[in-house]
Structure formats: structure tokens, C-alpha cells
Amino acid sequence: MNNALKAMRNTRVMRDVKAREGVLKNEITRRAYLYVARNTTLPPQVRHQAQLQLNTFDKYTRPTTVKNRCSETGRGRGIISEFALCRFQFRLRALQGELNGVRKACCTYISITPAYPC
């Protein structure tokens, strides 16, 4: 899809999207260098060169820079990853019945119906 038609998001989310795309783009090369650098059967010089190459990669190519954020608000904490939502947005959506298979817990009676929004 045309990038210009996508909604502008939170700056932090956009940074995260950038990191995700960077990881996708460089993952195979990075893995190859990692393989060489961590392989103790190879000569130390080669391994060192591979490590130096690894260090030249951009910050936004490492999988550890990627953080799951809320797709609605961009919040970084309290995320329920399966829905890509923070806890409050998750609650709002769930109460509106927009999340399949999610329903409010209720202890006052025993329910034997399968999981669907009540």
C-alpha cells in the first residue's frame, strides 16, 4: 500500500515500525555474521572481523530495539501482545465486544456456555 495513505502514528510507534522494518531487511546478513563471529571452530581473526562488521549495523536493525507498543495509543507499558493493545484499550474493546473470544469474568454464577461476548 502507498505509504502516504497510512495514518500518521505516535512518534514512538513510528520509530518502532522503523526498527521492525530494519530487522526484516538485515536479519539474514546479521545472522550470517553472528554465525561466523560465534563459531569457535573458525580462526579468531575471521571471527573478529565478523564481530566488527556486526558493530557497524544501525541501531534499528537489532531485534532487541523492537518493542511491542499499543497500536491504538502507542503506550509502551501494560501491553497485551496478542491484541497489540494496552490494558485500558483492551478493556474498552473487550467491553464493546470487539475482541473475539474475550468476555468479562464473572464469579456470581457458573457459566457453561462457550467463550463468546455476552
Question: Residue 23 or residue 49: which is nearer to another protein going by CB?
Answer: 23
Question: Residue 17 or residue 103: which is nearer to another protein going by CB?
Answer: 17
Find the DSSP H helices in 39-86: 44-55
Measured between alpha carbons, how far is 101 from 116 in angstroms, rounded to an integer? Answer: 5
**Least distance to another protein, CB of residue 114, Å:** 26
Measured between alpha carbons, how far is 21 from 104 in angstroms, rounded to an integer? Answer: 36
Binding mask 13-52 for another protein (x = CB under 8 A): x--xx--xx-xxx-xx--x--xxxxxxxx-----------
Question: Residue 78 or residue 111: which is nearer to another protein going by CB?
Answer: 78
With contact defined as beta carbons under 8 Å apart, do 68 and 79 qualify? yes
